[in-house]
């Protein structure tokens, strides 16, 4: 996506890159922060309790984002042995990232609406596009990470539920095959016309439209066409 945007409008490409880096950084920082709140300083000891993007961005994952539009940041670790209730606290730590993304999306949506009402969003500037990117990127991160497949955040919640239900075999299978399933889905989405992540894109786009009060894709299309 970045390369496509770069050829159409370098300033919009920069807005997308900044929105993505900030969103990923806040997502990972939130994991580290809540981990510390729950009694585990593993992430802090590794220098991850920071809003410095360099501590969270993975070089190869970032390059993948720029080239093919799909990538990742460095996962924030936690040590279940340091948690009072490993399954529950682990789920809380996992959900901290998506929750932070939701907060960022809401704040950016409110800012877009209020600045628009005040007449401060000139279509000749990149600010409207940047705010829409912040909303859209964060909603995409939110819904993607809610997928209950390892190593995504939603798997920690499912793992806790399976533990409570005594489904130990299902937990083992999920941990063993989950990452492979996710990889297959990602490859399919990249090399085939099959949109396997419509369950992420559709609600994220809808939420962006509702939070901003405009058609997010329509507005971005207008900017790219400038």
Active site residues: 28
Residue 174 burial (CB count, 10 A)? 19
If you search the block for the tokens 């085939």, which residue do you land on? 192
3 state DSSP class of 57: strand
User: Which residue shows structure tokens 């990127």?
Assistant: 137
Exposure class string for 92-118: b at 16+ Cβ within 10 A, else e: bbbbbbbbbbbebbeebbebbbeeeee
Q: What are phi and psi of 197, to 5 degrees?
A: -105, 25
Closest CA to 71 of 85, 79, 83, 59: 59
Count Cα neighbours of 104 within 13 Å in the Cβ-side half-sphere. 29
Give me the DSSP letters along 38-69: TT--HHHHTT-SS--GGGTB-HHHHHHHHHHS
């Amino acid at each position: 996506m970045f390369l496509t945007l770069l050829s159409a409008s370098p300033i919009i490409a920069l807005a997308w890159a900044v929105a993505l880096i900030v969103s990923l950084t806040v997502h990972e920082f939130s994991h580290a922060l809540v981990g510390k709140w729950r009694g585990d300083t593993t992430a802090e000891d590794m220098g991850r309790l920071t809003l410095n993007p360099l501590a969270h961005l993975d070089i190869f994952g970032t390059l993948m984002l720029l080239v093919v539009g799909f990538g990742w940041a460095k996962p924030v670790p936690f040590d279940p042995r340091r948690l009072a209730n490993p399954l529950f606290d682990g789920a809380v730590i996992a959900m901290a990232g998506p929750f932070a993304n939701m907060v960022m999306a809401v704040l950016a949506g409110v800012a877009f609406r209020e600045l628009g009402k005040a007449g401060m969003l000139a279509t000749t500037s990149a600010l409207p596009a940047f705010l829409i990117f912040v909303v859209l990127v964060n909603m995409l991160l939110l819904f993607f990470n809610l997928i209950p497949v390892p190593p995504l955040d939603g798997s920690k919640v499912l793992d806790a539920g399976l533990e409570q239900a005594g489904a130990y075999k299902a937990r083992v299978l999920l941990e063993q095959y989950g990452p492979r399933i996710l990889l297959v889905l990602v490859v399919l989405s990249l090399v085939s016309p099959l949109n396997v992540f419509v369950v992420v894109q559709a609600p994220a786009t809808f939420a962006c439209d509702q939070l901003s009060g405009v058609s997010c894709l329509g507005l971005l299309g207008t900017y790219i066409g400038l």
